[in-house]
Every structure is written in C-alpha cells, then in structure tokens.
Structure 1
C-alpha cells in the first residue's frame, strides 16, 4: 500500500508536470495535423521539410537523452591561409534536449568535470559546481504523445562553424550572415536510424574591407556563399572499454576531472582516442574482427592519385596484421552518392585550395570515452605538385623534350602514398613521431631521400618510404590489441612499449621537435639519416650537384624563363630542414617520456664531439662557397614575365624587379645564424657548459666569429656575401645581448663578444671610404657604438620563402 508521504509527494511533484503537459497538448495541434502537407524524413530524429517556407521542423522525441552534435563545412572557401577547407570538421559536443513548458532547450553538459559514481548526490554536487551551456532555444509548435515539434530552421541557418570569426581573425574582412540569401540544402539533408544529417547554404555579406586572401578565391567579395552541415548522432553503447593514456604510447585522447576519485589517486583521467575494434576470438594468435574499420577515399580524386591514396592508406593493414588481426582494416573508394560528411563513413577527402598548404587528419570522438566514431582526413591537392616541382629542380629533365620524366611522377606519387598513410594515422588516434628516423614511422614528416649514384648523378628511386613503420606497429598494438580474458592489461601494454624500446624505437612528438631552439638531437621535422650532421653534409652535396646542373632544362620548352626562379627556390634551400636538424645537436639533450619504473634514462647530454661535428656542418652552410649562386644561374633569370605573379614562394628581394642573389644568400644565412644564436639554445649552452663536458656558448660564438668576421677575405660576389653574412651575425649578437628571453649569462657573453668585435674592427679601420671592406667595417662600428636603448630589429633581415609543407605536412588538431 502506498504511504501517505509518497502520495503527497506525487501530488506535489508529478501532478503539476502532468497538468502542464496536458495543457500544452490541449493548446497545440498534433504533429500529424501540423505536418500533413510536409515531406517527412523518418530516422534518428524525425524531421519534416516544408517546401513552401523552406523550413525544417524537428520532432523532439528524446528529451533528456544525450546525443552527439557535430557541425562541419562540406564546401570550403579555398584559402589555406584562412583555413575554411572543404570537409572541415568543426565542434563536436554531447548535448540533450530539455523541455520547459513550450520551450525546448539544446543543452551541452560540462563533461570536463564529472563524478563517475553511483552516488547521485555526489554527482549532482559536481554538476551544480560548473556551468553548462544552452546552445539554442526552440519553441514547441505541435505535440503528440511524448514528442514536440520545433522549428529548427534558424538553428540550421546559423553560423555554427564560425565562418565570420575565421575571416575576421585572419584580418580578411568583416562579414555578417544574410538570411535572405541562405537556405536549407536539401540534397545533403538526410535521415538514418542512428544519425540525422542537415545541410544549409549560407551567404555572408559585407566585404568592404575584404583582404587579399578573400579576393583571391571569391567571385564577388560582397557575397561569400558556403555550406555548413549539422549532424545529430546517436552515442555509442556502453560496451566500449576506454583505454588509459600513456605518454610513451603516442596517442591523442580526452581528459577530464573525476571528482569521485579517491584522494590518493590522480583526479584527472586520460583516455586515448581509438576506433572500437574487437577480435572475434581474442585468445587466437590471429583473428578476424567483429566489425572491421573501413575507410573511403574521395571519389573526386583523379587517377593516378586516387590509387596512390588507396595504396598508402592500406599500409595500416600491415600494423593491424602484426597485432593479430585478419582483414580488420580496409580502404575502398567512396560510393557514388555517399555524403563525405555522413558520420557512417571514415573518409579520406581530396581538398583543393588556391595555394598549397597543410593536410590534416581529424576525428569525431565520443567526449565521454575517447571512442573514435568517424575518421576524417583532408589532403591538400597542391602538395603533389610541390614534390613534382622539387623533382624538376633536382633532375633538370627537359633537355630533349617537354615530356615528363617518370622519376618525377614516381616521386610525387610515393609522397602521396606516405601522406595518405600519415594523415590516416592521426584519425586512428596516433600522434606525430619526429624521432622515428629511417622510415620507422609514417607519423614523421619526411623529406625526400635523394642519393647520388656511383657516377655522381641524382637518384630519386628511394625518395620516400613504401610501407608502414616499426613504430607504427607498436602504436597500433598498444591502442588496438584485444587481450584474452584474464590478461593483466596494464602489464601487457607495458610489455608492448618495452619491446619497442628494445628495438631502439623512440617517440618524441610536436612541442620540442617544432621549436627552432629545441634540444632533442633526434627529433626534427623533414629530416633524414641516422646522424643529422652527416646527413646535412650529404644534402649539401646533392644541392651542389643540382645547382651545377641548373639550366633552362629545368623548365619545359615554351615556359617563360622567369619561371626558373620557382624551380630554383626549393633547390637553393634544399638543405634548410637538415640544417635545423643539425642545430638540435648543438646543446643537444636526449630525453624520453619516461615513467617511474620503466628503466629509461630521463635525460642525457649529447657528447661534445658530436655537438662539434654538427657545428662544423652548420658553419659550412654560411660559407660564401655554399651561399653564392653560380653566375650562369643568376644571369638566366629575368624579371617576372607578364602573367606570372610575384608570390610568397619566391625569394624576397631588395633590387626591385630583377633577381637578387644577395637576398637569397641573406635569407639562408639568417636561417642558420638564428638557429645557432636562438635564446633557448644560447641559454642551454651556458648551462651545459657549466655542468657537463659539452660545447659552451663561448665555443659556439667563438667559432662563429672565426668563420665570419675573422676569416680570410673573399673577392667578388663571394666577398659581398661574406660581408653580408657578417652583418647578419652582428644583428643576431646585438639581439641576443638584449633579449630578455635569454639567460643573463648568455646576454653577458653576447655583450662581451660585441665589445671584442669593436676592438678587433677598430684595429682594421682606416679612412678609405671607397674601399668596400672599409665601408663594411665603418658600418659595423657605427652599429656597435649605437646606444643600447636603440631597438634592435633582426626581423629586418630577409626570411626564407615558405618551404613547408613539402608535399606533406599536417597537424591533427593537425598534421
């Protein structure tokens, strides 16, 4: 028998809700009646389309039930610099509908702060301690049973992807959304049992202050029309088991604070991001998967690129086979009519832009667990052309005809295979690994491996890797291995990583590898070889050979001769990435993402002799012999022909329209010198020199001065470049002496060097201003005697043209 207390509670709490629901039902028409003349789309969230008014009416039958909401950009702006690419994923968030009277709210709970507990009061305390976000408010227009009908049109026509903000942040103009030129895009508005997909055409107007990037890619800057996509996705079931993150494993993931955690445990929880993959028989050495992972290549990619994308992506099956899976990973061509934004398809999309730029792999991830629901790769189509351009510069292939050289196409397609594998790896959850030399991982950034054959000719036959790397197999095993019942999973995962270390496999990801002042001797972007300094010397030999061969044969017959500069730039700067790699050895410190008890050494200073070897190679890159272009190359490049625009891919210049070989040398020398005197490296050299047998900052600066200001004088063009390089050294020493990001002692040593240089030049000074060297000394002395309060601007020196990405590149959140 029900107690009086419970009956009273029912009357107080439940009866008013029932009364409100009955009142709402009496006040509003039924959904059936309201939508009788509309087109019905049954599915996960049933909706109706009214063609007369271009409205979408959403039937909300799941109140207070969480689902995943994802916005994306199916049609792009086409500008790498602004970044609004075709197929770009946007925000992804767990949401739910909450009904209050005639209002229906779309609510995003705060999953960054949780309490994973059966204690409802404990969970409520956390829930009430942090803010939620109501993303949108709707009004009920019809009701039927437990369902209400809302007008979703304004929500679907909103700028959910923040196109306006993206354009504004890149200083490309001020725009606003024009509802009169926006509409539902019905061909991509569909419904399925587990996902509901909406798409809208949006027009942004304004553009009086439109920037150059917008003007390059829009037919009318006053009206930018794009499409945005909205996905309502049923969340996965609770049978997925999250896997704890380990800093040594190299996975992206999710993190959150669990306030139900005992005080003696870490409150922040971290899970890796990965697809759900299970073996049919976890106890078998090799087993088929319960449900394979399937990716689809964009059917808009042309041949032979499409086949290269398929081939490269399929490399990952090698890693899954090594983990004991059979036919668990497949790659196919996207079927005609399939929507790339449909959450049911893992996609490798071929994206076009007006300029080359990065590719990237992103994912739709369940924010609760880290489970990857959809992998989505975006590959920039112009990247293949950059590799082809590099091959033209290396081979000078057009001596006899304008017929393409097979080596060039083979090299470009080899890079596309590697790029496809790389970006797909991100969508499997795997981070970059920049310490994976010699093709140990496709998650590194690879520079083309160019060899000289026995006759001294350039050989591109092994420019890029042709399979998955050994580190990639370790990573897949860590993330995707399905262990038999009774296995100590933590021990098994540790064993996987330990076996990788026994093979000499390293993992270092983005932060230090990307820094020009970075310290890890093996962690670089776009480098090759087992020894960075040795490889730099090899790359310089390849560069020398290519410059010796450089001629009109580097471009096709009938091409304007001024286009030779486009081909020359990546060849003259061919050593730039290996230079940065060698610089990491100077003041180099090895380290690992070690955890207590794994037996790894946390840090180790690179041997002094190895640092010296790197310094010797680096000093070679600023020698006049390396920086000076051959005279025949200089004389064959005229000013830009009509129709060939100046662009950022070319050398900067100080000579107006004519080709400027001094500017090319300035940018290259600046690059090396800025690496050697980087405030982080300078400060580290001071510290290492005091506590270990390492190169010191005195050693580096002393040898830099001996090889520039205090070296034997050169004549002619080499002499001019020698003096120019010396002024660049002076600029960076002046900067280091005043740079507050450098340690006090690094600044002190730079100041002492400047004083010594002032004395040295004073002994060589005379009053013959007609002498080039004497004018050089006069200028340097004047710079040295300026008050220290005068602002030093090393940025006034010229920079290298952008080199990255080399037909590659990425960043999953980048690649």
Structure 2
C-alpha cells in the first residue's frame, strides 16, 4: 500500500528520536481533547452500559448520557437493611421496577418515567398519543448538563444516587420507630458495589438517617438508634429486544402477573390485559416432543456457600429441570457455581446468593422484570444462612440426641439439608415466575411452592424423621412450568392448548390456591394452609398433638449439648411446645370455612361449597384439645430443670414471654398457646361467616353454638385445683379477653358484636351465683376479676381498657433465631 503523507512524515521524524524519547512517544500518544474528556480526566472511568466516572476526592458520580429517548429499566433496592423483620427494611429488598428514559431540555436532562399502566397497543400514532397525554407521567429527577459533545452530555448524578429512593424514613415513621431525616454529611457513594457491566450499570450509596428513636424495634437492632445507616442500590438495565411473546395470565396456572389497560382494545374485549411473568425460553425444534433450548436458563450459586450446604442447594435448585423436561425440554434449566470472574450484580447472571444475617429471617426469590411484557430479565435468590440451623434446632427438640456415651446422630444434619433442598427449589421457583401454591400439602405434596412443615412420625413411641421433606419437584410444578414455558409448534392455537394443560391437571385432582387463601387469621379455605401436612387438617392436628405430647414427656437434658447452660433448654423447648401452632391455624379455618376454587366459567371446577357441619364439629373438638390443661401443662420434672437465665444469656424475643421477671413462666406459656387458638376461633371475619352461613343453612353451626361449646370446655368445665386449675383460669381469662375484643371490634358486624355481648352477659349470669358459693380462694379471685371486667366493659365500652394476652414467640419463618451466647442477639 502506498504510504500517505502523514506516514511519510512519521518515517522521517522517527530516526531523530532517542531510544528513551521513542518509548515515551509510543506509550503516551497525544491526548484528544474534548469537553467531557477534559472534565473527567482525573477521575476513575467505569465503562459499561452507561459510561460513568468516579471522582474520589469529591465523592461524585459523573454520568455520561448518550441514550436520549431510549427506554431502559431503573430498579432500586435496599442492599444493606435495618435488621428487623418487624420494621420491614430487610437486606436485599427490591423496590419497584420503572421504565425510564433521559429527555434533554436545554441545559437540563430529565429522567422521565412513561406511564405504562395505560397504553394503546395500536399502529395509529394519534391513538397512542391520546392515551399518553391523558395520563400523567413522572419526572424522577432533573440533571444539569456540565459538558457535552457529539450527542453526549456529562451530568453530576451524585444527588440522584444519594436520595432516599427506598423511602426508609417513611417506613420508620409508618412503623412508629421515630421521625428521621437524611443526613447528607454522613452519606456517601459506596464504591465496592458501584460497578458497570455491558447490559447494566450499578450504583450504591451509604445513607445515614438521623432523628429521635421512638420504637423498641429500632433500638434493638441499631447500635446508636439516633443514627440509622443503610445502603440503597440503583440499577440502570438495558431492556430486552422485542422478540419475546407475552403469555396470557390465567389465575389457575400459578403465576405472578403484570397488567395494564389497553385503550385500543375493542369494546367487546376486556380493557385490562394480564400476562404472566416468566423467562424467555424457546426450543431449538418446537415440533419435537423433547428439544434442547435455543438458550437455556442458567442459575449460578454463590461460591461462598460451604459444603455440605453447597451440594444441597445445587441439588434442590436443579429439581426444576424435572419440570422443564416434563414440558418438553432437554437440559433447559441448569444450575452451576458462579464463575470466579463473574459478579452477582451483572444482569446477565441469574443468581442464588448465600447471605449471612445475625438473626433468622425470610429467604427471597425476587426477579428483575420488564414491566412492558412480564419477561424476567434476571432471577435473584437470597437464601439466609441461618435456615439450616433452624431445622437443626427443631430436630434437636424432636430427637433429644445428646445421650451420654452415645455418638450424636446424623439425623439432624440430614433433616436440615433436606429442608435446604426444598428451600432452594422454592425460592428459585419464585424467580421463574411462580406464586405460592398452598393447596399442595393436601394433594400429596404437589408443589415445592407450598410452605412445608417437617414431617415427623411416632414409631414405637419414638420420633422418626426419616422423611421430613419431599425430595423432588411436584406434580403441580410440572403443570405450571408446562403452562408457562411450553413452546408450541407454528400454527398451534395457543390459548386452547394452554387451557387444555390446566383442564388435564384439574382432571388429575390438582388445584392452585395462593397467599390470600392460606392466611390463618380470618382465612376460610379448608385445604390451603401454611406449614401444614395431610389431607384432613383436623386429623393431622390430632396426630401432631400426639407427637408433641410424646416429645414434651421425654424432654430434658438430652435436648442440649453437654456443657450448655441448662437455661438454654428453653430455646429448644419453644418450637416443641408450639409444635402444633401451624396445624392449629389450618384446623381453625374449617370452622366457618368455605371450599372454593379459582373457577372460570365452563371449566367444571366447583365454585363454592360450605364446609360440612360434621367437619366443622370435628375440627372444633380437636381445637378445644389444644387449650385443655393436659395439652398446656409441662411435666414437673421438666420445670425443675429450667433455671433463670445466667449472666450473659439475656432473655430475647425467641423464648417464651413471661410475667415472672426471671423465672420460667409455665402459665405464661399456656397463656400464649391458648391465645393462638382462641384468637383464631373468635376472629371477626370467621364469626361473621358463621352468622351468615347459619342464616343461609340452619344445618351449619351458628356463632352462638361455637362460642357455647368453647365456654362449656373452659369456663363451665369442672374446676380443678393446683397446676391444672391455674391453667384453667389462665385459659378462661384469655377467652374473656377475646370475647370482649370481639364485642368491641368495629370490623365485626353488628350481629357478631351483639352475640359476643350476649355471651358475656350469659357468662356473668352463670358466674354470679358460683362466685357467692365457691370456697377455693383462687377460683373466687378469678370469678371476682372476671365479673369486674365484664361489668367495666358493659358500663363504658368506649373507655374499656382490655387485657392483652402474652403472644407466642415469632413463628414465621419456621425455626429459631441464631444467638451469640454472650447476651447479644
């Protein structure tokens, strides 16, 4: 090639340079000056999706904006939280996903959020414009242009990233923890998690809120409660291309949904559109019964996960490939260790994070989702490292494994790892788009998306934990994955094909019911529950009570390791004494219960059916067993070996609430346990259903009948003396408190409140003559106090100050808090 003139000049000049001069010329070419380059020349460059620079001296983020009117996804989250589940500002908590774009306006750049809740899916630009102008957009921030060149601008974005986008101060105020404000002097960019990648730019800030603490929760978790420091994270994420096809949402299929209003819809069709959330997945050969995927879904496990936990999590998460195989894919779902050079913040990686906390808490399965279509861009699982210890603790209580001179059984570790496999599958399932499936336990463990209770059995009087959790994906999980991910051949009528998948599942006896149907307080469904087992909740509660009784009978020194303080028996005792709490919740839902499905017109499902009177009567009988003295009392030999807490082992929220200052409170424990049952039975929603259903069908139990049966088993039961009598009195007090609360509850109907008022009057009439004749001082005192409480309520209900029964230690999620045994927790 013939050299150009500049090349010839270079050839002439080079021989006149000394060796040192030549080296310098090669290493440091003359810089190309530009307004942006001049501004950022001394700052650290972070190239990626949005190029940006960090000024270490001034702690500033300088953002280069070169994509105007190009939409991208903005996601914020709380990467380092407050540490209290009660406050609800948890580590790893995602905020909302927002589609945004940069809009240049003279010396300003606006970060604009279009309103995707209201759209016109139309080729007519005027129709689209009409909807766009009808509903407000949001400008999230305004930036000042500091330099510009060739269609790019430079802005100081520090203020944007140092704002309280997660509204931490609002949450602290709403939870009555105090009034706080953001202190900019104690806030800064957090550089370890401020990174850049090809498809996403990540920013993080340390934020400090100052104020006057008011609540106990904030005081318990923050070293200096007047100064609360957290970290908030910001992500700018490239949106996917337009080659994804949304899939119709069906409430029977088990998926989360996204929805919006489409004003271009014909008037004969629903204006609100709903689509499921799912990953993009296509077969290489859609006509094949089984095919590899064009691009498989791959999840990566945190390399910091230790063995044997690592293998358990990999195993459990990989269960999902069983469901994808059932949907016609070959090796389309994979789980591997995170590559050493990869970063979990990179949007290209679906991740399973192993996260350490000081206390027990929820694990999470979150996703970054395209709000336009429902496509999952990134799955993000957070597993708390203390969960493995929680099941280990439950196993310690059930097995009493620390016998002198005998090796410790591996059963506890086996049970804990079995739970971790199920937990990994469960949380990954959420990131595949799946919601909780709470009817699974009544359908032979049909889904890992249920909350499973560890299954224990009594064999020759001893607890057997050989099958505590399922070890595979469920039948319903295969149905839901097939609905969401099946890739149909060209020409297939997709909607009828999807409906057929669900109809076949219904014929097989599989159903889907989710969160609102499973919650115990006021819940009515007889088969959708949290942490339960078995087809019949009442039969299972009977079985669980038998196991609990056997465990409490044998509970003692063998439940803690040699050398542990005897007072720490209480930590292991709590989940055993309250071992029946979740099955009690399930059983209570039969009373005033309604069996129903997410039925569609013409799908053949039962719509609603009241639970039969016989089932309700059986459930009530078993529930009354949970508040009988025989169920609530501790063996005397056990009470003799639980001393007050020694120095360095303070009481904490995970042990039994007491009224006895230092000593173990057996009556306080009974108060808490009976409150579980009675607050469920006398919930205003359940009471309201009993009134309505009896009015519609006289064969259904009435609220009066249910309350009378409870009173007969408690207040009107033959009086006992000693420990049993004290337990009776404790339960009676809890019942009266709940009855008065029901009579005062504005959420209850007038008739419910009237019936509660009547029953209190009848109790008063029954107690009055007995108060005059009873000779036992403890019972006379009880009747005196009960009559006085009823009288106070009747005379001035608006001013009545109700008793508050002791509550049980936190139950959800199953397990115990991990405690540093120096009194810090």
The 3-state SS of whatever aligns with 1:785 is helix
CA contact (8 A) 1:107 1:132 kept: yes
Query: How many angstroms apart in 2 are the aligned matches of 1:313 and 1:88?
Result: 21
Residue in structure 2 matching 1:606, options 607, 611, 633: 611
Cα shift readout 1:213-237 (whole Å, capped 9, x = no counterpart): 5555555556555444322211111
How many residue pairs get matched? 780
The alpha-carbon deviation at position 347 of structure 1 amounts to: 1.4
User: What does residue 481 of structure 1 align with?
Assistant: 486
Choose the corresponding residue for 2:455, options 419, 425, 449: 449
1:111 maps onto 2:111 in alignment: no
CA distance in 2, matches of 1:423, 1:48: 36
- Could you tell me which residue of structure 2 aligns to residue 557 of structure 1? 562
The aligned counterpart of 2:602 is 597
Q: What per-residue deviation string (whole Å, max 9, x for no partner) do you get for residues 651-687 of structure 1?
A: 1112221111111111111211121222111121122
Q: Give the corresponding residue for 2:779.
A: 773
Distance 1:540 1:259 in 2: 56
Structure 2 CA distance for partners of 1:759 and 1:78, relative to 1, 3 Å:
closer
Of 574, 583, 589 in structure 1, the residue corresponding to residue 588 of structure 2 is 583
Quote how far apart the aligned CAs of 1:174 are: 4.8
Residue of structure 1 equivalent to 2:317: 313
1:134 to 1:409, Cα distance in 2 relative to 1, 3 A? same
1:190-230 deviations in Å (ceiling 9; x for gaps): 33332223334x24153553865555555555655544432
Partner of 1:799: 807
Query: Does 2:280 correspond to 1:276?
Result: yes
CA RMSD of aligned residues (A): 2.4
| Local SS of the residue matching 2:470 | coil
CA distance in 2, matches of 1:280, 1:639: 67
Q: Would you say the 8 A contact 1:627–1:721 is kept in 2?
A: yes
Q: 1:640 to 1:104 in 2, by over 3 A?
A: same
C-alpha spacing 1:535/1:98, structure 2 compared with 1 (3 Å): same
Is residue 175–residue 204 contact of structure 1 (8 Å, CA) maintained in 2? Answer: no
The residue aligned with 1:764 is 770
1:521 and 2:526 correspond: yes
Structure 1 Cα separation of the partners of residues 388 and 380 of structure 2:
20
Which range moves more in the overlay, 589-598 or 64-73?
A: 64-73
1:789 and 2:796 correspond: yes
Counterpart in 2 of 1:336? 340
Go from structure 1 to structure 2 and tell me whether the alpha carbon gap of 1:424 and 1:751 turns closer, same or farther (over 3 Å shift): same
Post-superposition CA distance 1:104-157 (Å, at most 9, x none): 111111111111111212211211122111111112222222222222233233
Asked if the contact 2:246/2:373 (under 8 Å) is kept, the reply is yes
Of 434, 437, 447 in structure 1, the residue corresponding to residue 438 of structure 2 is 434
- The equivalent position to 2:326 in structure 1, one of 322, 325, 328, is 322
Counterpart check, 1:70 vs 2:58:
no
SS at match of 2:743: helix
Quote the residue 2:233 is aligned against. 229
- CA drift of 1:168 comes to 4.1
Structure 1 counterpart SS, 2:312? helix
Tell me the equivalent position of 2:374. Answer: 370
For 1:331 and 1:603, locate their aligned partners in 2 and report how far apart those are by CA, in whole Å. 41
- Any idea what SS the aligned residue of 2:808 has? coil
**What is residue 13 of structure 1 aligned with on the other side?**
none
Where do residues 696-735 of structure 1 align in structure 2 (5 Å cutoff)?
696-735=702-741
> How far does the alpha carbon of each residue in 1:742-763 deviate from its partner, in whole angstroms, 9 at most, with x for none?
3333333333333332332234
- Alpha-carbon distance change, 73 to 783 in structure 1, aligned in 2, over 3 angstroms: closer
Shift of 1:52: 4.7
User: C-alpha offsets along residues 761-781 of structure 1, whole Å, 9 cap, x if unaligned?
Assistant: 234232566533233333333
Structure 1, unpaired ranges of 5+: 1-27, 810-815
Deviates more, 1:254-263 or 1:722-731: 722-731
Matched, 1:626 2:631: yes
Structure 1 residue 469 corresponds to structure 2 residue 477: no
Confirm or deny that 1:381 pairs with 2:385: yes
Which runs of no fewer than 5 residues in structure 2 stay unpaired? 1-32, 818-825
| Residue of structure 1 equivalent to 2:760 | 754
TM-score (norm 1): 0.91
For residues 570 and 389 of structure 1, the distance between their equivalents in structure 2, rounded to whole angstroms, comes to 9
**1:29/1:142 contact within 8 Å kept:** no
Higher RCO, Cα 8 Å, sep 6+: 1
TM-score (norm 2): 0.90
**Greater Cα offset, 673-682 or 744-753:** 744-753
Residue 252 (structure 1) aligned to one of 233, 236, 256: 256
